[in-house]
Structure 1
Amino acid sequence: MNLQPLLDAPLAVQIHVAAVLPASVLGAYILLNRKGTPIHRLLGKIWMALMVITSLSSFFIHEINLFHGFSPIHLLSISVLVGAWQAISSARAHNIRAHKAAVIGMYFGGIVIAGLFTLIPGRIMNAVVFSGGPSWILILTLLGIAAMLFLQQRLVTRRF
């Protein structure tokens, strides 16, 4: 692992990564634990704020310039912002099914899928994770992907 590419990256990228890394761990924790408790609500608010920061910061990242500085991955950022609105409004309306769908969509679309795109060769996070360091980072990445797939399967088969 080599943090230098991230340290050399633009400020928007650094803010983006600083928000998304804790959001990925916190989101997995929230999805795996008991719902509706005061701690769930508190951690959910923190997670939602991290996701909004992650999404908004992405609009200042223009490394893949396909259309006026933007790329298809920015569509995920828009969907995260829409999902945040849906998750909050459905939770306030006590529509748990819609809240759950919005949050799961935000997590898997905004973190898992977008995160996999960051590992494409030539991207900053690919250089961070796969260069200049021990191979255990690759093993941890693969274990993380396996854990996310397990989590997704558990959420699909689990009834709330």
Structure 2
Amino acid sequence: MIVIVSHLLIAVIAIGFGIKNLISQKGTQTHKIVGWIWVLSMFYVALSSFWIKEINEGYYSVIHLLSIYVLVTITLGIYFLRKGNVKLHKSFMVGNLIGLIVAGIFTLLPGRYISQVLGLF
């Protein structure tokens, strides 16, 4: 249960930091610090998902493919920034933020584990 709660809390934190970076001035020291907090949060959310298997009776589910995708694309976003390709960096990072928000919305749908834990439906 602690993994699920920490996964959820860090995901919410990642959404906040991601939106902050998306709307703030790019290239500043603040953008870099907030970006690293967001990256570390995203890595935690993706990695912690591998310990969450309650939904699929103890087995991995299709959603775990998304976690692998996040780990790869966040890494690519960092790689492309270091290579000077800001356009690809932005594409990967914004894409992951949008994906995180969409995934979060889907977890709140009726019948989903998180919506039941939160007592929404």
TM norm structure 1? 0.70
In structure 1, the residue matched to 2:27 is 36
Cα distance in 2, alignment partners of residues 42 and 125 from structure 1 = 30
Q: 1:61-80: per-residue Cα shift (whole Å, max 9, x none)?
A: 012218x7111111111111
- The code of the aligned residue for 2:33 comes to L
Judging by fraction of residues, say which structure has more helix.
2
Is 1:65 equivalent to 2:65 in the alignment?
no
Q: How does 1:4-153 map to 2 (within 5 A)?
A: 10-65=1-56, 69-109=59-99, 111-127=100-116, 128=118, 130=120
Residue ranges of structure 2 left out of the alignment (5+ in a row): none
Cα distance in 1, alignment partners of residues 85 and 6 from structure 2 = 32
Higher relative contact order (CA 8 A, sep 6+): 1
- The code of the aligned residue for 2:87 comes to R
- The code of the aligned residue for 2:8 comes to V
Offset at 1:126? 1.4
- The code of the aligned residue for 1:105 comes to G
Q: Check whether the contact 1:79–1:106 (CA below 8 A) recurs between aligned residues.
A: no
Query: Sequence identity of aligned pairs in percent?
Result: 38
Q: What secondary structure does 1:99 align onto?
A: helix
Offset at 1:129? 6.1
Q: What secondary structure does 2:60 align onto?
A: coil
Residue ranges of structure 1 left out of the alignment (5+ in a row): 1-9, 132-160
Cα distance in 2, alignment partners of residues 129 and 41 from structure 1 = 37
Q: What secondary structure does 1:59 align onto?
A: helix
Cα distance in 2, alignment partners of residues 113 and 19 from structure 1 = 15
TM norm structure 2? 0.90
Q: Check whether the contact 1:30–1:43 (CA below 8 A) recurs between aligned residues.
A: yes
Q: 1:116 to 1:88 in 2, by over 3 A?
A: same
Larger radius of gyration: 1
